[in-house]
A and B are shown apart, each in its own frame.
Chain A
Amino acid sequence: MGRYIIKRLLLAVPTLLGVVVGAFLIIHFVPGDPVKVMLFGANPSPRQIEDLRHQLGLDLPLERQFVRYLGGLVRGDMGESIQSHRKVADEIASYFMPTLILTFAGMGIAIVFGFAIGVLAALRPNSWLDGVAMTVVNLAVAMPAFWLGILLILVFALKLGWFPVTGQGGGIRLVLPALSLGIGYSAIIARLVRSNLVSVLEREYILTARSKGLGETTIVLRHALKNALIPVITMIGLQFGNMMGASVVIETLFARTGLGRLLVTSILQRDYPLIQGTILVFGAIYILSNLVIDVLYSLVDPRIRVA
């Protein structure tokens, strides 16, 4: 068990390195002169341009720049934002938690709704309930999250006045954003739960359990669900990353501060140190969440550990 975790951690290292290299290279792929691009609109003098170039280390050879970048990362220094002159690491740290909270809240909603609908549909396959559920699911999957958010705002915030339209923080201000984020993914989870549960319920060991006289609830909860759970866990892990990506749009819609909005503003302002830092942090989170999912998966399915 420990061996698998070690092996998995080691595998994550080159991936992380790849993301670091990728983030580093972003500024170098910019067509033209990135320094001029960053200072565009401020009408910089040639002196200011060269100053910034030197400050960012862009006048050094590429390898030395990368070493410098790595060195900074190790010390937790990701440079300074061109616009705000605050340290990139500080900016990211202050916006990190709200995004994480939003993503977890969305994930929670996705899991709860997804499982509820998926299990209900699987228990009565091909019934009218199943049909209605799957139609709703298909609609939810095809709906862009930001439009769902707008609809939720129109109905629940503006018309009914139950929730505030925008705002950060937790509690009631989190509800609409989390719903907008989570409902689309709950549909994906529901579909998977339903199909897996249906096929598991048809298997022989369920027949055995039934013939033993076990009650239906016990069967579903104890035996069927556990086996149907495995691919769903993987799916949830994969979707966590997607959800963080989608939070970029949701944060913009609800005017919430967070990493997503930070990324959008930094792209608009061509603030490359900030862009690089944010992309790097997003990337690290994805790699970490994939790692966690793989480990969880190995816990649930003992066969994986032997491989």
Chain B
Amino acid sequence: MVDAAEKSWPRGWENVKDAVLQFGRNPAAVISFFVFIVMIVLAIFGPLISPHDPVKVGTGPRLSPPGGDFLFGTDQFGRDVFSRVLYGARLTLQASVIAVVVAAGIGIPLGLLAGYAGKTVDSIISRLIDILLSFPGILLALVVVAILGTGLAKVQLAVGVSLIPSYARLVRGGVLSAKENLYVEAARAGGCSSVRIATRHILPNLFVPLLVLSTTAIGWAIIIATSINFIGLGVQPPTPEWGADLGSARSYLGVAWWPGTFPGLAILITILSVNLIGDGLQNALDPRMRSSGVSES
């Protein structure tokens, strides 16, 4: 059954089209996707949109409720909560992207190494991965902070490190199961080197699981990063950050509910949309791409 829409897609992209359509049938995923785009836009253009300076003390009266000039009210230093939430978006998204890049950048080669190496190297690496995976992410991140010290960049690194084992394990599994596949044997027989096999066959097949893992990983990264900032081991004042702002709002909850609510709401919306996008991606991509395979002929 060939219709006009199919004809317009270049060869090899039919799977992608199917996936996009399938994703489009999931209302929660689509809404989340647009919400996430809005978040990214707000993060990028935050400084331009922001009505007030987020760090200037005394922008308005201290602890004044939402309304008037201050959409989300002001905090204990008279700073505009809305502006701080806006600036915080950029920090949070930045942190989670960096964390995922670090985790993938180290985890993927590590997984490849474990999968390709001989029995002993593999068992050592995978034992290490299992040990690390049995620890909660936040604790791994705290160990890194304990070693390197507090501060924004170190938190981002710490969160990235805590996510490495998940990537390594996924890639290692992919290599091991691919090794048993006929097409890898055929490629070897044809004279392909291991590197070529890895890049042309194994990694493309891992693209979908890695993508889905990454959406979950972004959610984890946000939770871990905001938690570390909340307990005060991350960014230093007056940097606007959702977790850190919630932390400083603690002492004033008795008199002001807004500094402790809006940053948290922002966290919730971000993580929720990322989760739903991940679910949508998984539904749209998993049953389709895994069976059809993406290796080029």
Q: Which residues of A contact B (CB under 8 A)?
A: 14-15, 18-19, 22, 26, 29-31, 37, 138-139, 141-144, 146-147, 150-151, 153-154, 158, 165, 241-242, 244-246, 248-249, 252-253, 263-264, 266-268, 270, 272, 275, 279, 282-283, 286-287, 290
Q: How many A-B residue pairs have C-beta atoms within 8 angstroms? Tell me.
A: 121
Within the assembled complex, what's the spacing in Å between the Cα atoms of A264 and B139?
A: 11
28 sample A-B contacts, Cβ–Cβ < 8 Å, listed by A number: A15-B131, A18-B131, A29-B147, A30-B148, A142-B275, A144-B223, A144-B226, A144-B243, A144-B264, A144-B268, A146-B246, A150-B250, A150-B264, A241-B136, A246-B136, A246-B138, A248-B138, A248-B231, A252-B230, A263-B142, A266-B146, A267-B142, A268-B150, A275-B146, A279-B143, A282-B139, A286-B134, A290-B134
Given contacts A18-B127, A151-B264, A272-B146, 9 further A-B pairs with CB under 8 A are A15-B127, A29-B147, A30-B148, A142-B271, A144-B264, A147-B264, A241-B136, A275-B146, A286-B135
Q: A139-B268, A246-B138 are in contact. Are A19 and B246 (CB under 8 A)?
A: no
Contact: B131 with A19, CB < 8 Å? yes
Contact: A249 with B138, CB < 8 Å? yes
Contact: B146 with A245, CB < 8 Å? no
Q: Does B261 contact A (CB under 8 A)?
A: yes
Contact: B219 with A142, CB < 8 Å? yes
Point out the residues of chain A lying under 8 angstroms from B135, CB to CB. 241, 245, 282-283, 286
B3-11, B170-178, B252-260, B286-294: which one contacts chain A?
B252-260
Contact: B250 with A253, CB < 8 Å? yes
When C-beta atoms are compared, the residue in chain B nearest to A252 turns out to be: B231
Near A by CB (< 8 A), chain B positions 106-158 give 127-128, 130-131, 134-139, 142-143, 145-150
Closest chain-B Cβ to A177's Cβ sits at a distance in Å of 14
Q: Does B249 contact A (CB under 8 A)?
A: yes
When C-beta atoms are compared, the residue in chain A nearest to B231 turns out to be: A252
Contact: A245 with B136, CB < 8 Å? yes
Closest chain-A Cβ to B266's Cβ sits at a distance in Å of 10
Point out the residues of chain A lying under 8 angstroms from B271, CB to CB. 142-144
A14, A272, A282: residue with the most chain B Cβ atoms closer than 10 Å: A282
Point out the residues of chain B lying under 8 angstroms from A14, CB to CB. 127
Q: Does B232 contact A (CB under 8 A)?
A: yes
Point out the residues of chain B lying under 8 angstroms from A142, CB to CB. 219, 268, 271-272, 275
Other-chain contact of B272, A138, A245, A272 (Cβ < 8 Å) = A138
Contact: B131 with A150, CB < 8 Å? no
Within the assembled complex, what's the spacing in Å between the Cα atoms of A150 and B267?
A: 13
When C-beta atoms are compared, the residue in chain A nearest to B275 turns out to be: A142
The A contact surface, by secondary structure, is helix
Could you say which interface size class chain B belongs to?
A: 35 or more
The B contact surface, by secondary structure, is helix
Within the assembled complex, what's the spacing in Å between the Cα atoms of A8 and B127?
A: 15
Point out the residues of chain A lying under 8 angstroms from B138, CB to CB. 245-246, 248-249
Q: Which residues of B contact A (CB under 8 A)?
A: 127-128, 130-131, 134-139, 142-143, 145-150, 219, 223, 226-227, 230-233, 243, 246, 249-250, 253-254, 257, 260-261, 264, 267-268, 271-272, 275-276
Within the assembled complex, what's the spacing in Å between the Cα atoms of A15 and B127?
A: 8
Within the assembled complex, what's the spacing in Å between the Cα atoms of A252 and B142?
A: 14
Within the assembled complex, what's the spacing in Å between the Cα atoms of A142 and B271?
A: 5
Point out the residues of chain A lying under 8 angstroms from B142, CB to CB. 248, 263, 267
When C-beta atoms are compared, the residue in chain B nearest to A31 turns out to be: B148
Contact: A249 with B227, CB < 8 Å? yes
Contact: B231 with A249, CB < 8 Å? yes
Within the assembled complex, what's the spacing in Å between the Cα atoms of A151 and B259?
A: 11
When C-beta atoms are compared, the residue in chain A nearest to B276 turns out to be: A138
Point out the residues of chain A lying under 8 angstroms from B219, CB to CB. 142
Closest chain-A Cβ to B124's Cβ sits at a distance in Å of 10
Point out the residues of chain B lying under 8 angstroms from A244, CB to CB. 136
When C-beta atoms are compared, the residue in chain B nearest to A154 turns out to be: B257
Q: A138-B275, A154-B253, A275-B146 are in contact. Are A245 and B231 (CB under 8 A)?
A: no
Contact: B246 with A267, CB < 8 Å? no
Other-chain contact of A267, B130, B233, B257, B267 (Cβ < 8 Å) = B233
Q: A144-B223, A146-B227, A245-B139 are in contact. Are A154 and B261 (CB under 8 A)?
A: yes
Point out the residues of chain A lying under 8 angstroms from B148, CB to CB. 30-31
Other-chain contact of A264, B131, B136, B231, B246 (Cβ < 8 Å) = B231
Point out the residues of chain B lying under 8 angstroms from A150, CB to CB. 246, 249-250, 253, 260-261, 264
When C-beta atoms are compared, the residue in chain A nearest to B264 turns out to be: A147
Closest chain-B Cβ to A255's Cβ sits at a distance in Å of 9
Within the assembled complex, what's the spacing in Å between the Cα atoms of A289 and B126?
A: 20
Within the assembled complex, what's the spacing in Å between the Cα atoms of A251 and B246?
A: 15
Contact: B127 with A154, CB < 8 Å? no
Point out the residues of chain B lying under 8 angstroms from A19, CB to CB. 131
Q: A158-B253, A245-B136, A290-B134 are in contact. Are A26 and B275 (CB under 8 A)?
A: no
Contact: B230 with A249, CB < 8 Å? yes
Within the assembled complex, what's the spacing in Å between the Cα atoms of A144 and B233?
A: 17
Q: A139-B268, A150-B260 are in contact. Are A268 and B143 (CB under 8 A)?
A: no
Within the assembled complex, what's the spacing in Å between the Cα atoms of A97 and B80?
A: 41
Contact: B253 with A147, CB < 8 Å? no
